[in-house]
Amino acid sequence: MSEFVAVGGCLCGAVRFGVKEKLAPVGFCHCSRCRRVSGTGSNAVLNIRRDRFEWLSGEDQVQVYATPAGWKSLFCRTCGCPVPHILSDGQRVLIPAGALDGDPDLAISGHIFVGSKARWEVIADGSPQFDAWPS
Ligand SMILES: [Zn+2]
Ligand SMILES: [Zn+2]
């Protein structure tokens, strides 16, 4: 396991993955779709290079839901937890921050789609905020 700087997985343990070399900062998306998928105010993800990511188990347990417009949510077919999402360009992976084992010391990159965030959510860190995509 020492080749990984962090490992993680879903609640039932079917899906497991590792991250090599270094962890990216965590970014938050406050859009209405990420609120639904996360069940809370925002989605917290690490955007890492594909070559730093490795499935350890359960890649075949990943269920994909796509909206008619093509926006995708990936989750474990048994426990429903969000799981890593290899982007369509094949170069980057979005990793749910809460899926990492333990409590890695992550930097915060910022917040996007703050313009559509829920009124009850308070952003308390000092990282950059963008109304939609970063300019
Ligand atoms: Zn699971
Ligand atoms: Zn979003």
57-103 pLDDT, tens per residue?
A: 999 999 999 999 999 999 999 999 999 999 999 999 999 999 999 99
Question: Which ligand minimizes its atom distance to the CA of 28?
Answer: 2
Q: Output phi, psi for 38, to 5 deg.
A: -85, -25
Looking at the CA of 76, which ligand is closest? 1
Q: What is the rounded CA–CA span in Å between residue 64 and residue 72? A: 7
Mean pLDDT of the chain: 96
2 pLDDT band, cuts 50/70/90, is low
For strands 43-49 and 26-29, give the pairing.
Answer: antiparallel
End-to-end CA distance of the chain: 38
Give phi and psi for 48, each to the nearest 5: -120, 165
- Grouping H, G, I as helix, E, B as strand and the rest as coil, residue 106 is coil
Q: How far is the CA of 58 from the centre of ligand 1 (A)?
A: 9
Confidence of residue 9 (pLDDT cuts 50, 70, 90): very high
Q: What are the extents of the domains in the chain? A: 4-116
Query: 4-116 maps to which CATH number?
Result: 2.170.150.70
How close is the Cα of 29 to the center of ligand 2, in Å? Answer: 4
pTM above threshold 0.85: yes
